[in-house]
Every structure is written in structure tokens, then in C-alpha cells.
Amino acid sequence: MTMTLTINGKKRTLTIDPGEKLLDVLRREGYMGVKKGCGAGDCGACAVLFNGRAVNSCLVFAAKAEGAEILTIEGLATGEVLHPVQEAFLQEGAVQCGYCTPGMVMATIDLLSRNPDPSEPEIREALSGNLCRCTGYVKQVNAVQRAAEWMKGGETRG
Amino acid sequence: MSNIKTYQRPASLEDAWRLLSEEGKTAKLVGGAVDVGLFAPPEVATLIDLSHLLSTSVESRDGGGLVIGAGVTLTELLESPQAQAYGGGILVTMLRQVASPLLRNAATLGGALASTHPWSDVITLLLALDAQVRRYSGHPEEAALETLLESRGTMDRVIISEVSLPRLEERTYIDFEKFVRTGFDVGMLNCACRMSLSDDGCANVRVVLGGTPDIARRSPDVEAAIAGTSLTASDIEKAAAVASESIPARDDVRASGAYRRILAKAGVRRCLQRMAQKAGE
Ligand SMILES: Cc1cc2nc3c(=O)[nH]c(=O)nc-3n(C[C@H](O)[C@H](O)[C@H](O)COP(=O)(O)OP(=O)(O)OC[C@H]3O[C@@H](n4cnc5c(N)ncnc54)[C@H](O)[C@@H]3O)c2cc1C
Ligand code: FES
Ligand code: FES
């Protein structure tokens, strides 16, 4: 079947299998920043924004995204300039192997778009569906706090 | 490997129902797809997407009741001011304990009920609140969630379109407790209590225990132990002991039956203690 959706601001018409997951279609189309961890809704590595909300793309049927706006990690930077959330993750050392990072960043963008000044418990709740096997869930929280400060101040990057 | 051959977006509930009834067990309704995406049985060849057909509104009605479209996501419900105001915010207390925001952003209320997970937090609380469910099977029909759960295996064979929660009388108290191994896990046991408290004591008592590991059920023995009492510390201890003795606890991968009995006691005790405290304020 064919479907039309917008990925990172570009309208795309894709041929998909009716039972295919959004994760697999995105990766096939070259959006390799969308990671596959568990494939079962447990790890959050596959998170993308679906009409502005972070979801596990390993669970969503691609066909469900007909007409939807999808944002992946590849759609965040402007040229060489990283999004403040990406920059904050780098500066705070919140990235080790980096496998969980795209999902964490997308979950953070969803959070900050609705709550520009989250408390630490709110940050922890927002990231509770994103597992990281390398870090200790401290530097990511610091990174979200730093990104929130920059974004509140209207800065595009740190 | 999925055997799905077609993904349908019917134009109306009527068309969705026709497809479902014509295709039988080879067709499956899709809400947020959190479950269907993981657990669609191999015989399923047709997916019927309901997302554009179901209401996503949350409205206050009847001077304090709530009418919720079955297409609402758990996040939308959690963020709705009407849901936040209902029953002292009890829906929010429960929903924040369901999975993660990533899942709640996709999962719908209709799907949460129709998937009839034994450990469902949504079902436990909505059963305690005496939720009524509106469904479509060629014509609209309405029934209590409690009645529908009696034929649990068929909950996803009729389209759930709306859920309504009753207006809560003054001095009605509700509470919810969930026991998990980690914050993101499904529960080892959950519990919800609702009652009104007047000078004549507790009335309209509903106590529900879920994940025992069977699906949530009311507990008539605990309800009887509470009804008519003034919810003193000793009333609460007696009711908690009855919960422990009377639940159909068994072992499974999440917890042993013996541990579930301890949790049932603690869950009922905590809910009742908080309710007694609120009543005394
Ligand atoms: C990793 C994980 C963790 C979870 N943790 C929790 C938790 O802590 N607590 C909790 O309560 N739940 C939890 N859940 C369950 C989750 O809440 C439900 O799976 C979810 O709400 C299903 O909603 P959905 O819209 O995605 O349903 P779908 O996946 O779309 O459908 C689920 C079932 O319902 C049917 N269906 C869907 N919509 C309708 C409708 N309108 N009418 C009739 N039938 C319909 C489908 O055919 C299917 O059988 C968890 C699930 C996962 C995957
Ligand atoms: S790959 Fe999607 S949640 Fe793990
Ligand atoms: S940095 Fe390696 S999994 Fe998170």
C-alpha cells in the first residue's frame, strides 16, 4: 500500500506493507538515528515525535502515520547547528555509547514543548520510558535542565 | 512474522463494524496499537484503524460526571482539566502510574479497556468508579464495565466508543494503589476503593483488586467488612485482613500468591487510611 506523511518537514509518499512498523519504514528510508532496542515498547530507543508527541515507533503501525507529521533526530539540527537539547546532551556528557540518545532527546523535546520549566521529578517521569545501559540517569537530567534554561532564554544553542 | 494483508481506515463506525463482523477473527480493531502492534495473533490479516472515528473529547456532564471519547489517549486524558478535577484528581493519580509517557501518548482509553489485561490499572480504577461503556455493534448500546468484563474475551469484538463516569455525591472518597517492582513495570497487584461516608457510616462501597493475577474484580467480602462502619483504625485493619484472606491470589512470574496476599492487605489499608484522613479534614 502507499501512504503519504511528512517526515522532518518533507512530504513523502512511501510504499509500505500494511503490517509494517513505523520504526522499520523510517530506518529503511534512511532515518538511521531511529534506533531499535527491544522492539516491544520497553526501551524508548525508537522514540520519534508523532504529531508533536513522543511515541515508540516500534509499536506504531506505519500505516497509522498517514497524513501525520513525524519528527526524527535527523530533523532537529539546522545545518551544522545542533538543537539546544542535542547540544545540552553533549555538553553535559549525557552520551556514552549513544544508542539511547536519540530517543531521550525526542522525549525531552516533547516534554519541553509542553513544560518549559520542568522539575527534576517531572524530567524523570518524562524519561521513564527511555532506558540507558551506560549512564546513571543523572547527566541526562542535568542535560534536560540545561536545555530548558537555554530554551527559556531564547537561545538556539549553548 | 506478521500476516497482516490490509490496513483499513473505514469512513464510519458502521463501516468499521461491518468489516469486523464480516472478517471475524481475522480482523482486529486498532486504537493506539500499543498492544495490537505487539500481540496481534497470527490469524489476523486485517487491521481496522479507529483513530479518526472515535471521539477524543473529555466533557463534564450531569453536574459533575465525565464523558470520555474512547479515542482519547491516556496522555490527553491525564492532561484534560475535566479529568484532573474529577474525584479529587484520582484519574491523574492512576494514569501517571501507567507505563511511560511514550506509551501513554499512543494508548487509547478504548484500547486500555478492550485489551482486558489482568494487571490493567485503568480497568481497576474504572471498575471502582462504576464506569458505563457505550459501544457500537451496528447500533449503539450501553452497559456497565462490570457487566462487560464478565465476558472478557469478547471485549474487543464490539467497538467501544465512549466511557462515562458518574457524578460523585458529596463526601464520596476514592483511592488507588499500585505495587510495582520498578516504576515502569506492570503491577504485581493494584487496588481501588470508592465509598461515601456520612453519619450513618460508609455506604456505596466498591473495592476492586486487580492483577491477583486474575483480572480486576470487586471484592464483596471487603465491601461488606467496610459497609456501615465509620472507618476507624480497627475497621480498616479488619477490612485489610479480609482482603488478604479473600483474594483469589496465585503465583505468577511477577509475584507469589503469598506475597500478593500481603500486598492486598497493604493496598486496602493504605487506600482506606487515606480516605479516612480526607474524610476527617
Ligand atoms: C510496555 C507496556 C507497558 C504497559 N504498562 C501498563 C501499565 O503499567 N498499566 C496499565 O494499565 N497498562 C499498561 N500497558 C497496557 C496499555 O495501557 C494498553 O496496552 C493500552 O492502553 C492499549 O491501548 P491501545 O489504544 O494502544 O490499544 P490497541 O493496541 O490498539 O488495542 C488493544 C486491544 O483492544 C482492541 N481495541 C482497541 N480499541 C478498541 C475500541 N475502541 N473498541 C474495542 N476494541 C478496541 C484491539 O482490537 C486490541 O484487541 C502497558 C503496555 C505495554 C506495551
Ligand atoms: S525499540 Fe521501541 S521501545 Fe524499544
Ligand atoms: S549512552 Fe549507552 S545506552 Fe545510553
Ligand 3 neighbours, Cβ below 6 Å, are A 95-100, 132-135
Please give the share of chain A, as a percent, with pLDDT higher than 70. 97
What the block records as the C-alpha cell of A132 is 540507558
The average pLDDT across B47-64 equals 93
Question: Cα(first)–Cα(last) distance of chain A, in Å?
Answer: 44
Q: What is the pLDDT of residue B185?
A: 82
* Distance set, CA A107 to CA B32, B103, B176 (Å): 18, 11, 27
pLDDT band for position A156 (50/70/90)?
low
Mean pLDDT computed over A130-154: 93
Query: What is the B111 CA–ligand 1 centroid distance (Å)?
Result: 4
Q: Is the pLDDT of residue A155 over 70?
A: no
- Is residue B159 scored above 50 in pLDDT? yes
Q: Which of B4, B102, B108 to mutate to test the interface with A (most CBs of A within 10 A)?
A: B102
Instruction: Name the residue of chain A whose CA is nearest to B76's CA.
Output: A53
Q: What percent of chain B has pLDDT over 70?
A: 100
Q: Which CATH architecture has domain B58-165?
A: 2-Layer Sandwich (3.30)
Q: Where are the domains of chain B?
A: 6-49, 58-165, 172-280
Residue A100 sits at the vertex; the CA angle it makes with B4 and A23, to the nearest 5 degrees, is 20
CATH of domain B6-49: 3.30.43.10
Q: What are phi and psi of B199, to 5 degrees?
A: -65, -20
pLDDT digits (tens, 9 = 90+) for A55-102: 999 999 999 999 999 999 999 999 999 999 999 999 999 999 999 999
Place of cell 549525557: A94
Residues of A with CB under 8 A from a CB of B: 1, 17-21, 40-42, 44, 47, 50, 53-56, 58-61, 63-64, 66, 107, 110-111, 125-126, 128-130
Residue B280 pLDDT: 86
Using CA atoms, how far apart are residues A20 and A62, in angstroms rounded to an integer? 6
Residue with cell 480482523: B27
* B22-55 per-position pLDDT tens digit: 999 999 999 999 999 888 888 999 999 999 999 9
DSSP B141-170: EEEEHHHHGGGGGGGGGSEEEEEEEPPPPT
What is the CATH architecture of B172-280? 2-Layer Sandwich (3.30)
Is the Cα torsion angle B108, B111, B115, B116 positive or negative in sign?
A: positive
Phi/psi at B172 (5° precision):
-100, 135
Ligand 2 centroid vs B196 CA: distance in angstroms? Answer: 43
Instruction: Identify the residue with better confidence: B2 or B94.
Output: B94
Looking at residue B38, its pLDDT comes to 87
Neighbours of A142 (CB within 10 A): 17
For the record, the C-alpha cell of B87 comes out as 474525584
Q: Which residues of chain A have a CB within 8 Å of the CB of B40?
A: 19
C-alpha cell at B215: 483480572
Q: Cell numbers 521513564 correspond to what residue?
A: A128
Element (H, E) at A65: none
- % of chain B beyond a pLDDT of 90: 87
Q: How far is the CA of A155 from the centre of ligand 1 (A)?
A: 39
pLDDT of residue B1: 57
The mean pLDDT value for B151-173 works out to 92
Structure confidence at residue B62 as a pLDDT band (50, 70, 90): confident
- What one-character-per-residue DSSP string does B191-256 give? EEEEEEEETTEEEEEEEEEE-SSSPPEE-HHHHHHHTTS---HHHHHHHHHHHHHHS-----SS--
Chain A: closest CA distance from residue B4 (Å): 5
In what order do the strands lie in the sheet containing B172-179? B172-179, B189-198, B201-210, B217-218
Q: Beta-strand (E) ranges in B9-54? A: 27-30, 46-49
Residue listed under C-alpha cell 536519540: A102
Tell me, what DSSP letter sits at residue A1? -
Closest by CA position to B8, among listed B27, B22, B32, B36: B27
Q: Please confirm whether the linkage preceding B213 is cis (ω < 30° from 0).
A: yes
Q: State residue A157's pLDDT score.
A: 58
Measured between CA atoms, the residue of chain B closest to residue A20 is B2
Burial letters for B207-237: b for 16+ Cβ neighbours within 10 Å, e otherwise? bbbbbbbbbbbbbeebbebbeebebeeebbe
Confidence grade of residue A158 (pLDDT, cut at 50, 70, 90): very low
The grid coordinates of residue B159 equal 467497538
What is the pLDDT, as a whole number, of residue B67? 97
Longest dimension (CA), chain B: 62
- What are the pLDDT digits (tens) for B7-27? 999 999 999 999 999 999 999
How many other CB atoms sit within 10 Å of the CB of residue B33? Answer: 25
Mean pLDDT of chain B: 94
Separation between Cα atoms, residue A103 and residue A35, nearest integer Å: 8
Phi/psi at A89 (5° precision): -60, -40
- At A11-42, the pLDDT tens digits run 999 999 999 999 999 999 999 999 999 999 99
* B100 to A129: CB separation less than 8 angstroms, yes or no: yes
Q: Work out whether strand B46-49 and strand B27-30 pair parallel, antiparallel, or are unpaired.
A: parallel
pLDDT at B195 (0 to 100): 96
CA B118 – CA B208 distance, rounded (Å): 12
Q: Which domains does chain A have, with CATH numbers?
A: 2-74 (3.10.20.30), 84-152 (1.10.150.120)
ipTM for the predicted complex: 0.95
pLDDT exceeds cutoff 70 at B221: yes
Higher-pLDDT residue of B40, B273? B273
Confidence of residue B207 (pLDDT cuts 50, 70, 90): very high
